Structure 1
Amino acid sequence: MQYTAPIERRLVFQPSQQIMPLMHRKENIFSPLRISPSTQQHFSPSQHQFSKGNEYNQQKRQNTNDPEKEKEIKILIQHNQKMKDQINQQAIDYENLKHSYDKMYQDQLRLINELEQISKVSEQQLKEIKIKQEVIKDLQHQLESQCHSQNKNQDETQLLRQQLQFKDQEIFKFKAILEEKNLENQEIRNTLNTINQKVQFMTQQKDQQYQIIDKFNKELQDEITHKTQQIHATSQSLSQSQQQVTQLKFEVDSLKVKLQSQQQLMPLQQLQQRYLMLCMENDRLHSIIQKEYELKKQMEQQQIKYEQETEQLKNELKQISEEFSRLQQGLVYEQKNMYLIENLKNQLNYYIDENARLNVIIRQQSRI
């Protein structure tokens, strides 16, 4: 599920439609072309006598600006250091992702709360930027009226050009800072790619385990089938043996009847020998039946054991599947959060740079 900001928050992420920087306007109000040739004819020759005084005032203004610029640079450095600390902390959290997924969810909730606070701060900064933009527009109208009402000399025009060059240099500095932040973001992306590769490796290991378990299940099923066939064969042989025993008992009974009928005709010694032979045969058949019964009992116990092992393997396979699905869900949720963090971070960097640049322009225009 992709994160979508509310309408009032989405308006914050469209600075190109709200802010028109003064440096990017096609029409430059400080251009010397605004001074017409007819107006330049009225310049007094004595104006050049005041150029040295203007240069002195310009140096004085630049000297007074240095402490403020140093403070702003220190503030920017502190802010960048805080951002670097936050990014390093996030990288450490992501490096420990594979060891503690439960802690990851709590960290993600904390990050989401921090991002909501950052978005609120960004909205407040946007409101301040809008107010400052209105102030800049008023200053621009005042400057335009002053340009039309007053005839400025060439020294003042040169001073404005130098100020514009100074602004361009500051813009280049901010671009360099932005490139450093992009490099830091690239390091974070590389770390995330490493984590994704590790997760893929774990996924491959799980697939191999699944293949081994399937192979073992197949071998176990084949063995169970073979043992079942042996049990069926043993059962058939037992039934045949029982039939033979029943038949022998019937023969013994018939022989007993014959013995009783022929007892007086046959000698006693022959009857005893016949009886001993029948007893020995009966004992032999009984031992065979006992062995087959014990073998059948062992086969049944072994089959029960195989069924228990199969059930245990199925439970382990189910647990592995649940763990794997939970890991996949955590990875998808983490990727969504990283996309949201990257988006908000880029927007915040843009508003911070734009706010700093507008503050510099406002201070310089207020001094002019």
Structure 2
Amino acid sequence: MAITARYLEISNDLERKIVNGELQGRLPGVIRLTDIYHAGQSTVKRAIAELTKKGMVTCDSTRGTFITGKRRPDNHYGVICLVGVIFDEPQNSSFVAALNRIAATRGYSILQVADITTFSQLRPSALADLPCDGYLIVGLTSELTASLRRSGKSVVALNCCEGIIDGVSWVDFDWQSVYSELFQHFRQKHYRRIALATYDNRKFNFRDKLFNYYLKNVGDDFNPDYFYGRLDEVQLHEKFGHNYREQGGRLLAEYYAALAEEPEALVLHLSHEYIKAFRMHWQDITDKPVPELFCVSKEDIAGENMLICDYHDLYCQALQLLFDDLNNDGYSQAKNSLSRVRYHFNS
């Protein structure tokens, strides 16, 4: 007779209680479960990890572990909710129309919700009440995930989400690969003073991930002065209004120009507006040569070095993951996918 591992016994028992409705809301804490099952904390944590993989619970490091169940909603709407806006108009309408054509081949249509902030701050369950079957979300939080999963609906997270919420399918841009390729370009040019600037975006650990990519690739030439991750987009916008990107570019130009040795190359993990402002202000304040500049964009811009994010590919991959889950009678295992970042070197 096969012997079932203790953590699987605990996981199976908890799953049975969740499905039967004996457990609702939050899962008892780890210490409480160790008392109930007379097991060690590592065994209980492993059991919870199994439930997370199945979508039965959603873990939050500060709020606890939410029970999300495995129930599918009775209603089928034929609607997928797209939460967040990537492009300005009229490009946004064209983008959503393209996704609609893809969704229509599987019997679905796209409903776009522009702003996730209202739902996440006021009442997360409001998003779960929308007449739809699943969600593609930029800026997903664990609390919102728990609310959506309790409704039995499918969720796929997009962009800056790699590993952020256990048990949730996600699609992200493959920054690790493109940064490796970018630094190969720098090595071919024999650059040693390579700088990187980005937003102080810690919500999804994205700034730290970029720093790790940078540190890994720059190697022995690492200089902490060349990494600038203190730009606060919200504060810049509050202070300078719609002109905030130009002012951000000015701040970066002043910072790097003041260094004893200016960078030979500078990657602005920021939008193209920063490059234009940086170049203009740099030439105003110093005679030092302008570093070779790179920026991130949704499209190729003539004459610039670009890291190009293909959002159409990102969302097409996310739709496929969502379709896979919707076609499953219960929750499928969380899946992950990476969208390749293209690059264009002008020089």
- Please state which structure has a larger fraction of its residues in helix: 1
Structure 1 or 2, whichever has the larger Rg, is 1
* Common topology (TM > 0.5): no
- Please state which structure has a larger fraction of its residues in strand: 2
Please tell me the TM-score bracket, short chain as reference. Answer: under 0.3
Normalised to the residue count of structure 1, the TM-score between the two structures is: 0.19
Normalised to the residue count of structure 2, the TM-score between the two structures is: 0.20
